[in-house]
Amino acid sequence: MPDPEFNGPILSAKLKPKIPTTPINPRRNNLLGKGISASALPYKRTPPSWLKISAPDVEDNICKFAKKGLTPSQIGVILRDSHGIAQVKSVTGSKILRILKAHGLAPEIPEDLYHLIKKAVAIRKHLERNRKDKDSKFRLILVESRIHRLARYYKKTKKLPPVWK
């Protein structure tokens, strides 16, 4: 039984500390899950002893695939699955995108921004057919804000021209 003479503070639900709801990793904005699973890189940064392909051959393959119109991630998947090259950096000393930039074959807009734009176009096309789909409209807003945020970052780091829209 509470003491009637005690006039101290009464703790209520309003005084509980708030837990921050903003994501720690900004790349995972607007996503549903909280998973942290990712592939693990090998500890040794040297190419495996069984790999017989040389660095210039790998660079030639990368340039050949880029001329066919493949993105850097698609090139990496092909090299991993078909040619047995797990990490291009361990063989050549530089990443796929840097090799493409050195040969003048890099894509004009970054790959992640390209895929976000592609997703926004697909959602817009869906919304033309299904005007009452409110969830898609909401998701389109989220995707477009991610596009603007990423474009602002790329303009700041000079990977996109300042007048890019």
Count the neighbouring beta carbons within 10 Å of the beta carbon of residue 92.
20
Calculate what percentage of the chain has a pLDDT beyond 90.
32
The residues, any chain, with a CB within 8 Å of residue 133's CB and separated by 6 or more, are 126, 127
Whole-angstrom Cα distance, residue 48 to residue 33?
35
Residue 8 has pLDDT above 90, yes or no: no
Q: Between 78 and 161, name the one with better pLDDT.
A: 78
End-to-end CA distance of the chain: 67
| Single-letter amino acid, residue 156 | K
- Mark out the alpha helices in the chain (DSSP H runs): 55-67, 72-83, 88-92, 96-102, 111-129, 134-156
pLDDT tens string 10-45: 555 555 555 555 555 556 666 666 677 877 887 888
Enumerate the domain spans of the chain.
Answer: 55-102, 111-156
User: Nearest-CA neighbor of 110 among 118, 125, 123?
Assistant: 118
Whole-angstrom Cα distance, residue 32 to residue 103?
39
Output the pLDDT for position 41: 80
Q: Which fold has domain 111-156?
A: Helix Hairpins (1.10.287)
Output the pLDDT for position 20: 55
Total-model pTM:
0.68
